[in-house]
Amino acid sequence: MKIDFQAATLGLIDIQPTFMPGGELPVPDGDAIVPVVNRLFGRFGDAFATQDWHAPNHASFASAHPLKQPYDTIEMPYGTQILWPDHAIAGTPNAAIHPAIDQRPIEVIIRKGFRPDLDSYSAFFENDRKTPTGLEGWLRQREIRSLFLCGLATDFCVAWSAQDAARLGFSVTIVQDACRGIGLPDPGGQTTIDTARRLLTEMDVTFVNSDEL
């Protein structure tokens, strides 16, 4: 795969202990991506990272809504919200970037979801799809045109980040062996991983394995 690395960067999406086995919202096999991500740094000169960064009693937590359970849904002013177990509490060790990740190539860290009443999956916008995180401006100033995304989870924060990046005109590639998904049930016997991949493919997002780079 031919890549102009001068105009490309690696994006680490929510590679935090809170999303790994033993964390509050574990993604199956989530910790397996850490060595793959560290190997990718050998191909990319720089990177950005995101962190889920929630206040206690965040509106996206099931615990904030009496009689609700994790993975129930509610309607918020910005649309349907899945309710999650409490996770990624700002300032806690499990909200940090995983300690085994080599952070030296990471130039900027975007913290998202810190507004108590507004969840955030995408690296670019909060879930109202209009409140920016500032990442787009950083990428434009750095003259980055191609994004290679890895992290957790494939069907939520990675997928939403990829969708927004594609809408903004970036070339987007997902390094699939450096990602893991949650895989909630979706209509038609599919999972949220299946649905995310179909939507992203329709948006010309590319999927590769790390050994193809």
Per-domain residue ranges for the chain? 5-56+87-212
pLDDT, tens only, 33-88: 999 999 999 999 789 999 999 999 999 999 999 999 999 999 999 999 999 999 99
Active-site positions read 14, 112, 157
Distance of alpha carbon 46 from alpha carbon 104, whole angstroms: 9
Distance of alpha carbon 84 from alpha carbon 54, whole angstroms: 12
Instruction: Give whole-number Cα distances, 121 to 43, 82, 145, in Å.
Output: 26, 11, 21
pTM to 2 decimal places: 0.95
Structure-block tokens of residue 172: 């987007």
> Is the model's pLDDT at 3 over the cut of 90?
no
pLDDT, tens only, 13-41: 999 999 999 999 999 999 999 999 999 99
Any idea which architecture 5-56+87-212 has in CATH?
3-Layer(aba) Sandwich (3.40)
Cβ contact 53:113 at 8 Å: yes
